[in-house]
Amino acid sequence: MAEISLILGGARSGKSAYALHLAGKAKKKAVFIATCQALDKEIAERIELHKKTRPKSWRTFEEPYKVSLLLNKIGNKFEVILIDCLTLLVSNLMLKGRKADVIAKEVNGIFDALGKTKAKAVIVSNEVGLGIVPDNKIGRVFRDVAGRINQLAAGRSDEVYFMISGIPWKIK
């Protein structure tokens, strides 16, 4: 059964860097599952910067929708699995018209699949509930769904860290 760590925090809080640290930059068989889609030039540039921070020996899969299916396919082929990030997965699924229950089913599927592996798993997600209330309905729905998904993920993770200005704070 996988040991699962969840890394939460705001934008530019150091989540991804700390996730890499927890995953270990050792020469283990590791996989990085990216949920981000390069929908514009700026995001494409951010993706390229992210790729440069990972060890070259790591395998990368770009999967914006069906992470649980991918995890079931790769099974026990890797010692470390890093998923970055749940918030983008939520956004991707919402933009495809998926409702909160379908999104929760996908996230539960991720944890079910991880539970069948022996890999160390590290999952990144954004904490989006600490700011102002969004001024539009889709923003409020996204914030609420992401918050519920983070609660689900935290409940199913062995340890949870909250990042503040690059400093990890272990909360579970």
Which letter, b or e, does each residue of 104-113 get, where b requires 16 or more Cβ atoms within 10 Å of its Cβ?
bebbebbbeb
* Residue keyed to tokens 């889709």: 138
**CA distance between the termini of the chain:** 18
The CA-CA-CA angle for residues 109, 114, 115, to 5°, reads 95
**Eight-state DSSP code of residue 63:** -
DSSP H/E element including 44: helix 41-53
The residues assigned a catalytic role are 50
CB 171 within 8 A of CB 18: no
Cβ-based neighbour number of residue 70 at 10 Å: 18
